Structure 1
Amino acid sequence: MTTSTENAALKIMVIDDSSTIRRSAEIFLGQAGYQIVLAEDGFDALAKMNDHHPDLIFCDILMPRLDGYQTCALIRKSSRFRHTPVVMLSSKDGLFDRARGAMVGSNAYLTKPFTKDSLLRTVREHTAQAASR
């Protein structure tokens, strides 16, 4: 079992144009002791990534300017962040969305609205994988 001090070393980025989703994730992850970086869209996220070096990225699919698929593809093309786990967020739980997310390199898919338990379980699964590399 990880402690909140161990969690504090992990930085999680949440990219979503919905302030409600960003706020929910911030509360759930903050209560668990993680550091949180919030971004409103793909451009905002890409600008913040170099400064914050997230250990895990949650990325909404439907966003203005740069959608989640484009954002994930750009993250995968980055030599610095290509191995950072990316979890796609979507209110649609369709096979097409999951397949398209996998095609651009996402590691997993989480349906919104997510619960605190599902969010934290996803974080644990993907940060444990990252730590074992």
Structure 2
Amino acid sequence: MVIDDSKTIRRTAETLLKKEGCDVLTAVDGFEALAKISDQKPAIIFVDIMMPRLDGYQTCALIKNNPQFRATPVIMLSSKDGLFDKARGRIVGAEQYLTKPFTRDELLGAIHRHVGTVA
């Protein structure tokens, strides 16, 4: 699942992952994502930090506080790469932090590292 308020980022990630055989869900913000996560149970979640209504930190914390999804890997996406931002991501339970613009290899590497196989 890719959660980002930027249509460009969602499309880019979706295209890269679908080329690798992944089923990809997208959401424009945390509220939309939480409903889809509950229904679809994604294997891994990529979430932008800066979003309206519910930011990435809040979204990650809500996912990790739910026993059903606690083990689901959450990868933070951000144009900021500061130490504070990365630390805050870890505090709310994110497994990894990717700086935008991310590469195909970074996305796939995160999937291999946290899920094992692509698709």
The reply to whether residue 101 of structure 1 matches residue 114 of structure 2 is: no
Aligned to 1:124: 112
Matched position secondary structure for 2:2: strand
Give the drift of 1:128. Answer: 2.1
1:44 equivalenced with 2:32 (yes/no): yes
State the one-letter code of the partner of 1:39.
A
Provide the residue aligned with 1:8 in structure 2.
none
Q: TM-score, normalised by structure 2?
A: 0.96
CA separation in 2, counterparts of 1:53 and 1:62? 23
Name the counterpart of 2:59. 71
Root mean square deviation, CA, Å: 1.0
User: What residue is the counterpart of 2:9 in the other structure?
Assistant: 21
Flag the structure with larger Rg.
1
Q: Which runs of 4+ in 1 moved over 2 A?
A: none
Structure 2 distance, partners of 1:83, 1:117, is: 23
Between Structure 1 and Structure 2, how many residues are aligned?
117
- Mapped partners of 1:58, 1:97: distance in 2: 15
Structure 2 CA distance for aligned equivalents of residues 56 and 118 of structure 1 = 14
5+ residue gaps in structure 2?
A: none
One-letter amino acid matched to 1:128 = G
Counterpart Cα distance in 2 of 1:75 and 1:118: 22
Equivalent in the alignment of 2:47: 59
Structure 1 segments unaligned to the other structure (5+ residues)? 1-12
**Identity across aligned pairs (percent)?**
62
